[in-house]
């Protein structure tokens, strides 16, 4: 008799067990969802001013790194050409390199003039003017490598901007506003991109 009763009550017990398990699972899911919501903290967005400061700091830091690279490269070229005052001229070229196109050109011309009038001869039995021209060509190549390759890549990578944007910004700024445009093209472009991303991204 007891066995029959147990058999009769078995389906209802199974249903009850299933219902309990189902309700427990749902409760656990609800609890976990609430925990996730509570533990999710919103990361406060940086203000526009802080973003602009960060971009400008990245710009000036990268420019300083480029100055060091240019300085060492120019020093190596000047030493190879046996130009007097190589260190001073290299520092001058490095400082002027912050001005795209114009800066290093001015420094290179200065170095070439020194090479022409110093008493050290790089090429035997060659006129001093030849040494100056060769030095000018070597520094011209360095100038173009920096302006068209290194600067766009370094500045673009530091600020997560496509190097082509940096490249064309400098050209457009130079063609439009000359020397001032060449100097301000990159920082103005970076600030403009930062403002755009802040409001529209």
pLDDT tens column, 113-168: 999 888 777 666 778 888 899 999 999 999 999 999 999 999 999 988 999 999 99
CA atoms of 41 and 117, how far apart (whole Å): 68
pTM exceeds 0.75 for this model: no
pLDDT for the residue 198: 87
Average pLDDT over residues 55-84: 95
Whether residue 170 contacts residue 185, with contact meaning beta carbons closer than 8 Å, is answered with yes
Does pLDDT of 80 surpass 90? yes
What are the pLDDT digits (tens) for 88-113? 999 999 999 999 989 999 999 999 99
| Residue partners of 189: CB distance under 8 A and separation at least 6 | 161, 165, 166, 169, 173
Instruction: Give the chain's mean pLDDT.
Output: 82
pLDDT for the residue 201: 72
Q: What residue spans define the domains of the chain?
A: 1-38, 48-200
φ and ψ of 125, to 5 deg: 60, 25
pLDDT for the residue 23: 57
Does pLDDT of 195 surpass 60? yes
pLDDT for the residue 175: 93
Least confident of 17-31, 78-92, 115-129: 17-31
pLDDT for the residue 200: 83
């Amino acid at each position: 008799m007891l066995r029959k009763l147990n058999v009769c009550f078995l389906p209802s017990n199974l249903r009850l067990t299933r219902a309990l398990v189902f309700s427990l699972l749902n409760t656990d899911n609800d609890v976990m969802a609430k925990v996730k919501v509570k533990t999710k903290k919103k990361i406060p967005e940086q203000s526009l001013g802080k973003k602009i400061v960060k971009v400008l700091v990245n710009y000036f830091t990268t420019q300083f790194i480029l100055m060091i690279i240019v300085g060492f490269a120019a020093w190596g070229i000047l030493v190879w050409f046996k130009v007097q005052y190589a260190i001073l001229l290299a520092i001058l070229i490095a400082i002027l390199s912050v001005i795209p196109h114009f800066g290093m050109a001015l420094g290179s011309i200065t170095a070439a003039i020194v090479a022409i009038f110093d008493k050290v001869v790089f090429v035997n039995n060659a006129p001093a003017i030849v040494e100056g021209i060769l030095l000018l060509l070597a520094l011209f190549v360095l100038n173009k490598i920096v302006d068209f390759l290194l600067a766009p890549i370094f500045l673009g990578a530091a600020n997560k901007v496509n190097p082509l944007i940096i490249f064309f910004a400098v050209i457009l700024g130079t063609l439009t506003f000359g020397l001032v445009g060449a100097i301000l093209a990159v920082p103005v472009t970076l600030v403009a991109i930062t403002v755009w991303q802040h409001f529209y991204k």
